[in-house]
Amino acid sequence: MGISRYTPLVKLKKKSLDNAERALIAANNELSSASDKLNHAYNELSRMSLPTQGTLGEFTQVASIIHAQHRSIEEFKFHLENARQKQNLMRERFKTAMIDFEKFKYLEVQELETQLKRAKLDEAKTLDEIATLSYKREMP
């Protein structure tokens, strides 16, 4: 038994699958990071409040900080949505790479099994020929 004609393709598809898996892990990490940032921004916003006393300048300053926090939240929401889309894309690429790998792996196994059957059949024929020749020699 030896190498199948599919062996190089299986190696190539395995490499592609590994790359897709790494990209999916990176996308998952990016999604998690974006989600954490958004949650942190919401927590920061929940701790902020407008002053009930003080000068107009203080009120304006706090209002602008709260407004900036709202803009940050919107930006984090945008990043989170992009991270979700990227994760979905990477998940689909991973599935496709997995299917391709499995197809070629199956073909490789089938071909190797065929080679093994052929080798066993050849071995049986050779043994039959040897037995026939031995039998003919022994006959007077």
Out of 2-6, 76-80, 122-126, 136-140, pick the least confident. 136-140
Half-sphere exposure of 107 (CA within 13 A, CB side): 15
What DSSP designation does 53 have? Answer: S
pLDDT for 116 beyond 80: yes
* Token duo for residue 39: 């949650």
Q: 91 with 24: CB under 8 angstroms? A: yes
Burial letters 95-106, b for 16+ CB under 10 A, else e? eebeebbeebbe
Give residue 140's pLDDT: 60
Model confidence at 51, in pLDDT bands (50, 70, 90)?
Answer: confident
Backbone angles phi, psi at 19, to 5 degrees: -65, -40
Give residue 27's pLDDT: 96
Give residue 53's pLDDT: 82
